């Protein structure tokens, strides 16, 4: 560990709605927060198009533009926002230490974790081989490239339903692969999918293989009841099977559930370690909305401010 360690009053790791909101509140409280944006500055909203359910935007707003607004507001309040990735932590004693970009260490008595979550993959070889060549985990990012073409999407939750509907407006046919005989999506989203004529659902089905050598040309779908397979010609294949919390570097230091979501004390952002707080999708597997992430970022900032006040006495 380097002998020159930078000190921060509050250190925020991650930059989605939770991270930026925490930065706004801690900066206004005069705590001079340092925020590292992480591998995806702005978080998952930067790969979203129209956001219509965030209060205050009467006509909706594009996700990336909204995150730019958050960042500008945090900067105006006095937050020190930096590009960099947290690569290691040492929470053995206070002040806690966080390694940035495997190069430097920064320490603080109050750390707010807002590292979010990342898309899950199916884990089949053809998926990784053709990733970027017709295989994607973000329909909103890449759907445009398949305008007027046939595509497939795998998943059965709200994200899969939303992305299938989005793709149906761009693509000629959307082949939706659902593992069971029912979807997990909310009733309203299921109704929208079923009412969309160019979405074809394959129930009790799994992706056997994505076909193509240098680009995606088809998908082999296996029926789990009969074990029979069918090949469908497609140009794009989208994975929408959920998310994995970005919490790996904190493993062993703070309590998590069996899927890696950081546990917080109910009604707070406090983790199992005093002075370490968590907000946003890294600790929320139920709601996962921009507005709830922002709300939990506010909670974390207030919790951190109160915690630091106790250290002064």
256 forms bridges with which residues in the sheet? 262
Give tens-digit pLDDT for 241-285: 988 999 999 999 999 999 999 999 999 999 999 999 999 999 998
Determine the Cα–Cα distance for residues 271 and 263; give it in Å rounded to an integer: 6
Write down the pLDDT at residue 164.
97
Q: Is the pLDDT score of 1 beyond 70?
A: no
- Measuring CA to CA, which residue among 307, 283, 304, 313 is closest to residue 115? 283
pLDDT tens-digit map of 183-230: 999 999 999 999 999 999 999 999 999 999 999 999 999 999 999 999
pLDDT digits (tens, 9 = 90+) for 119-147: 889 999 999 899 889 998 888 768 888 99
Q: Are 150 and 167 in contact (CB under 8 A)?
A: no
- Tokens describing residue 5: 């360690």
Encode pLDDT of 78-119 as tens digits: 999 999 999 999 999 999 999 999 999 999 999 999 999 988
Active site residues: 138, 141-142
User: Tokens standing for 12?
Assistant: 């925020």
pLDDT at residue 145 in the model: 87
**8 A C-beta contact, residue 161 and residue 134:** no
Domains (range + CATH), the chain: 6-118+244-312 (3.50.50.60), 125-239 (3.50.50.60)
pLDDT score at 268? 98
Model pLDDT for residues 27-56, shown as the tens digit of each residue = 999 999 999 998 888 887 776 666 778 899
**Edge-to-edge strand ranges of the sheet holding 218-223:** 205-211, 218-223, 229-233
Mean residue pLDDT of the chain comes to: 93
Q: Find out whether 183 and 167 touch, Cβ atoms under 8 Å.
A: no
């Amino acid at each position: 560990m380097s002998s020159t360690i930078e000190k921060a009053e509050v250190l925020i790791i991650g930059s989605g709605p939770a991270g930026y909101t925490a930065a706004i509140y801690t900066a206004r409280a005069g705590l001079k927060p340092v925020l590292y944006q992480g591998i995806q500055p702005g978080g998952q909203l930067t790969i979203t198009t129209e956001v219509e359910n965030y209060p205050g935007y009467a006509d909706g707003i594009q996700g990336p533009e909204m995150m730019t607004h958050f960042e500008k507001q945090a900067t105006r309040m006095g937050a020190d926002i930096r590009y960099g990735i947290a690569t290691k932590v040492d929470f053995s004693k206070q002040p806690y230490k966080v390694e940035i970009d495997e190069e430097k260490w920064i320490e603080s008595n109050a750390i707010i974790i807002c590292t979010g979550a990342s898309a899950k993959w199916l884990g089949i070889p053809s998926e990784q081989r053709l990733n970027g060549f017709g295989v994607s985990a973000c329909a909103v990012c890449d759907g445009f490239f398949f305008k007027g073409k046939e595509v497939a999407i795998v998943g059965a939750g709200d994200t899969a339903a939303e992305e299938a509907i989005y793709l149906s407006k761009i693509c000629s046919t959307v082949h939706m692969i659902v593992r069971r005989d029912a979807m997990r999506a909310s009733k309203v989203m299921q109704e929208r999918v079923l009412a969309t004529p160019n979405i074809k659902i394959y129930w009790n089905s799994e992706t056997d293989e994505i076909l193509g050598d240098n680009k995606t040309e088809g998908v082999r779908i296996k029926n789990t009841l009969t074990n029979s397979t069918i090949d469908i010609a497609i140009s794009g294949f989208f994975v929408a099977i959920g998310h994995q919390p970005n919490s790996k570097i904190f493993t062993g230091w703070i309590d998590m559930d069996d899927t890696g979501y950081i546990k917080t004390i109910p009604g707070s952002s406090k983790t199992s370690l005093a002075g370490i707080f968590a907000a946003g999708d890294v600790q929320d597997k139920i709601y996962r909305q921009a507005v709830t992430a922002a709300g939990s970022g506010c909670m974390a900032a207030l919790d951190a401010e109160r915690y630091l006040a106790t250290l002064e006495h």
